[in-house]
Amino acid sequence: MAGSDWLNMKEIDQLKWATKHLRTKGETHEGAPISATNFDAWLSQERTKDSALLLTMKLAWTQAQRRKADKNAKKKACSFVLSEQAKQKLNKLAKQNKSSITNFLESLLSDEYEQAAQQKTVAKNAAKRAAEKEQQLKKRLDSLYLALQKCVTELTQRIVMMEAVELSIDSLSEEQKSQSEALYAKTLKKVTGKSPTAFLNEQLSRSMERAPN
C-alpha cells in the first residue's frame, strides 16, 4: 500500500482511524463502504483528483492526534469570569458532548483553530489558482493583441495596394466576396481559436451575463 506524507499505511491504528473517518463521512469506493481492503484503491483515486477531502482528512487526523496529546499533556490552571447564563450554556454543551467542561473547552478551541487553518489553506489555494488563471488570460490577450496588430498591418497594406491600382471593395466579384468570407472565417479561427458562429455565441452569452436583471 502507498501511504502519504502524513499517512503511514503500516500503522494499523491510523488505518483503522482513516477507514472509520471515511465511513462516517459516507465515502465509498465503487459502491462499497471504505475498508482496509479497498482503502488503497480509494486513496490512489483521490490523489489523481487532487481531492480536497484528503486535506480535510489530514487536518482531522492532526486534530485527533492533538487531542490525544492534550490528554497526556500537563495542565495549567486558568482563571476567568463567566456570566451565569454563559456558564449554564457551557455546562449544557459539555453534557451534550459527554465531556467535562475543561475537555470541552479544549476541544472547542482545537476545532476552531483547525478550522481557521483549513480556511486559510483553502483561501491560499484559491488565490494561487486565481493568479495562475490571470497569467493564462494575460498570455492569451498578449497573443491576441499581436495577432490583431498583424491583421491590421496586412489590412492597411492591402488597402494601399488596392488604391494604387484604383480598386475598391465595391468592385469585388461574387467569387472574390466568397473567398473573402472564407479567409475571414479562417483568420478569426486562427486568432480566437473559434469559428465565427461559436465566437459570436460566446460574446452574446457574455453580454447576457453582464446585462442587469
pLDDT tens, position by position, 16-39: 888 888 778 777 666 677 777 777
Instruction: Answer with the residue of higher pLDDT: 50 or 177.
Output: 177
Instruction: Report the 10 Å Cβ neighbour count for 155.
Output: 10
In percent, the amount of the chain with pLDDT more than 70 equals 75
- Please write the tens of the pLDDT for every residue from 158-182: 777 777 777 777 777 788 778 878 8
Confidence of residue 57 (pLDDT cuts 50, 70, 90): confident
Across 59-74, average pLDDT: 74
> Domain spans of the chain?
1-70, 174-213
Instruction: Answer with the residue of higher pLDDT: 189 or 135.
Output: 135
Angle CA(21)–CA(93)–CA(74) in degrees, nearest 5? 75
SS3 10: coil
Q: Quick one: pLDDT at residue 1? A: 44
Q: Quick one: pLDDT at residue 166? A: 73
- Single-letter residue type at 122: V
CB 33 within 8 Å of CB 39: no
Across 3-12, average pLDDT: 68
- pLDDT over threshold 70, residue 3: no
Nearest to 40 by CA among 23, 26, 19, 61: 19
Q: Quick one: pLDDT at residue 85? A: 92
- pLDDT over threshold 80, residue 193: no
User: What are the backbone angles phi and psi of residue 32, rounded to the nearest 5°?
Assistant: -105, 145
179/210 Cα distance (integer angstroms): 36
What does pTM read for this prediction?
0.40
Q: Quick one: pLDDT at residue 2? A: 47
Instruction: Answer with the residue of higher pLDDT: 90 or 55.
Output: 90
- pLDDT over threshold 70, residue 208: no
In percent, the amount of the chain with pLDDT more than 90 equals 7
User: What are the backbone angles phi and psi of residue 134, rounded to the nearest 5°?
Assistant: -65, -40
Q: Chain-wide mean pLDDT for the chain?
A: 77
Q: Quick one: pLDDT at residue 50? A: 59
